[in-house]
Structure 1
């Protein structure tokens, strides 16, 4: 098998900029000529093995960061943006998108920001009365989208917060079911009472009385999680604020949403400290039930945590994680794999995650292949939220967790599956408008890059043919 060449010009330029070095000084430290470095930074040459070793030895750089993770995300996001009908038939070929993502990632992100602004302007014009009635209406990214993109391009791993959570858990004897009692004792020692009440609010904190109230109707693991969220907001505020300063959100609303997201991140990382959960995941071959029992967490919490194990120098398996509702809308999403989720709309209907609602409390396994030929092991399960009392609405979701086929040996869920038979892999996609498959029986809209042929005297699975 031919070795895949590594082009990482943008990341080399970014590293040199962070180090404050000129090209000449950087080339000298890497042991290469100035012209050679210039060619690598412009992706005219691949990064050589000598340079990879020098990056690790001279700068302590995690060479796995030279991979194409960001580029793949940008390509996926640009393809979906270009599926907008406003571009008509003028969408650039995939090769050009990959070139832009690799050589000019800042330009790619600017394009995505521009398209997002266009979409929001279009939506506001469609509801002009509402827009005119809103004081101070101005063009800016949706706070939710801005925060989602922040975590998306951080690889869903926030190093400073993750390490702080791990340190906090270690001070109290480590993560797991025993952490809850230790946290409550610590809060009480600092004058904060923790009470339980039959209330629909999962968590409420009365700063004046210094009383934290948790809902006794919520599952045990949810109570623990909310307890740790409040700890993060009370005791880790300087760290959270410093992280938010670096992110430079465009609105106070986005910053507030992100702060709560960081507090949630801290809570999950404290329940399942990085080193401990990584070792346990490898030991159990990522058995979600065993991990949930060991750390006093829910299945969804464990699956989400596995998708964040991307610490430089100690990475876990690159997973993708998603949660969908019954309408197919993705309510949570992250991918450390080459598979990226649609930014708008729902998930591919051929994913087994949609069938999870039909089989409660059961893990569904699936072997799948995306249009780019990459194969995955997928896992799905319903994660319905109990109402806690009669008559209360039940929140129904399903989660998906998956990784590339090459990691199948590390998954207990791949045992007994025929990984060698081509027909065992179901064809799935990302979004119909950017999916290249021409024979999908579940296609909802035509693909952007295909010409339609209408045949009045013939009706196949689709009401049109794709050239």
Structure 2
């Protein structure tokens, strides 16, 4: 099991800044000496249990904030970037990467931006992109990646929009039928709603304010699309204000992000925070029961569980990932220490890949990552019909999981031996330290290889210690 010490210097400095107190006054409140506080704020010493207790008693601080945030995401992203063959020197130790992520997160992000720019330039050169010869060929970040990183580093939780959606879905504190609430709101705004036999899930004509929802779509999809239109129609000022704060580099990124924020509102209105969180606790996070209670899909429920990160009222930290049949990650988020690879697919040892073989069934897995952290993982296929015999079927699988210390709060842990064998999984072969993995596709770029032409095991090489 992982016994990683808690270094949270940035969080301590942020809290002291919000309180507007000196280091001396802050140290007195925490019951430590000024030099000791200085060492903790600079990550030279871990945060002790006594300090954690004082943070709660003196300031009502949500201590889960000490172990969440950007650090693990930044470390994971830097490890993957440094595995690039362009870095031919020795890879910095993991401890150094954690210090950089904790003490200088802005510098770490600048490094990641630089590496992303390098990759884009390299890809253009490799494909002989004719755009390089144009005058307007200035390097720009991919709008899709820019938006993905925005949500990634916001912890996939947008407080203002989440609370607005909850207020919309629960006027007076009572949850109403989302279809009724959405229909009333759109009707008041002068929108004419109809259900059409169309392959388009949603179609809106601004001229005439006509909204058509596909009659072929499943109930959860229809509800979601109605609430999406509510976001664009009644919450436009809030969406634009959030986009203004994000300061995206391109208009395309802003447009993509606006769709993402409207989707966020729709999901948060369909599954309002406090009501959904309480139901999740009551039902022990049974995805099927929650889907039935809220009229949502299993994928919508699983995704929402990973966003319950409201300060002072956080849920169990979950990771959530969706993959296609090729293993490509199409959605990803993690409120846990496990972070997904930015490039490529997911580890083939994860049960998410086996979900395609057992449609309609939940697969449970007890898994352990190379850092020694253990997880309870749950996977299921979420294939989506096109609505007719000739329409293509979209096939995906989702995986949701949490660290094993939270497993008792999940119905899916019943009957499992949580002290038994855990399957080894990784993040990406390029940065995975496991030396004997039978599913390894490429060597780890942080390790040296030994090649013996007279011996052959599972792999055609050996990974040095």
Do they fold alike, i.e. is TM over 0.5? Answer: yes
Deviation at 1:111, TM superposition (A): 1.0
Matched, 1:339 2:323: no
Structure 1 partner of 2:387: 388
Structure 1 partner of 2:458: 461
CA distance in 1, matches of 2:355, 2:264: 26
Deviation at 1:155, TM superposition (A): 1.2
CA distance in 2, matches of 1:47, 1:273: 34
Structure 1 partner of 2:444: 447
Structure 2 partner of 1:159: 159
Among candidates 434, 437, 446, match of residue 434 of structure 2: 437
**Quick check: 132-141 or 358-367, which moved more?**
132-141
Matched, 1:108 2:105: no
**Quick check: 48-57 or 442-451, which moved more?**
48-57
**Change beyond 3 A, Cα 1:267–1:460:** same
Q: Could you give the per-residue CA deviations for residues 372-427 of structure 1, whole angstroms, max 9, x where no partner exists? A: 111111111111111112211211111011111111111111111222223xx111
Matched, 1:186 2:161: no
The secondary structure found in structure 1 opposite 2:431 is: coil
**Quick check: 107-116 or 435-444, which moved more?**
107-116
How do 1:35-50 residues align onto structure 2 when only pairs under 5 Å count? Answer: 35-48=35-48
Give the alignment's TM-score, normalised by structure 2. 0.94
**1:192 and 1:211 in contact (8 A); partners too:** yes
**Change beyond 3 A, Cα 1:297–1:159:** same
CA distance in 2, matches of 1:52, 1:384: 45
Structure 1 partner of 2:276: 277
The secondary structure found in structure 2 opposite 1:87 is: coil
Matched, 1:419 2:423: no
**Quick check: 240-249 or 282-291, which moved more?**
240-249
Deviation at 1:351, TM superposition (A): 0.6
Structure 2 partner of 1:148: 148
CA distance in 1, matches of 2:369, 2:119: 28
**1:376 and 1:405 in contact (8 A); partners too:** yes
**1:307 and 1:318 in contact (8 A); partners too:** yes
Structure 1 partner of 2:7: 7
CA distance in 2, matches of 1:308, 1:90: 37
How do 1:332-411 residues align onto structure 2 when only pairs under 5 Å count? Answer: 332-411=331-410
Matched, 1:67 2:64: no
**2:202 and 2:214 in contact (8 A); partners too:** yes
Aligned residues: 464
The secondary structure found in structure 2 opposite 1:201 is: coil
Deviation at 1:117, TM superposition (A): 0.9
**Quick check: 145-154 or 186-195, which moved more?**
186-195
**1:179 and 1:271 in contact (8 A); partners too:** yes
Q: Could you give the per-residue CA deviations for residues 180-236 of structure 1, whole angstroms, max 9, x where no partner exists? A: 123213322332111111222211211221111111111111011011011111111
Structure 1 partner of 2:214: 215
Deviation at 1:255, TM superposition (A): 1.4
The secondary structure found in structure 1 opposite 2:45 is: coil
The secondary structure found in structure 1 opposite 2:320 is: strand
CA distance in 2, matches of 1:426, 1:49: 31
The secondary structure found in structure 2 opposite 1:78 is: helix
**1:367 and 1:378 in contact (8 A); partners too:** yes
**Change beyond 3 A, Cα 1:148–1:225:** same
How do 1:148-297 residues align onto structure 2 when only pairs under 5 Å count? Answer: 148-171=148-171, 174-175=174-175, 178-297=177-296
The secondary structure found in structure 1 opposite 2:80 is: helix
The secondary structure found in structure 1 opposite 2:361 is: coil
Q: Could you give the per-residue CA deviations for residues 112-142 of structure 1, whole angstroms, max 9, x where no partner exists? A: 1111111111112223343236662222221
CA distance in 2, matches of 1:207, 1:133: 40
Give the alignment's TM-score, normalised by structure 1. 0.93
The secondary structure found in structure 2 opposite 1:99 is: helix
Q: Structure 1: any 5+ residue segments left out of the alignment?
A: none
**1:10 and 1:105 in contact (8 A); partners too:** no
Q: Could you give the per-residue CA deviations for residues 40-99 of structure 1, whole angstroms, max 9, x where no partner exists? A: 221123335565456456655423211154211111111000110101242111121112
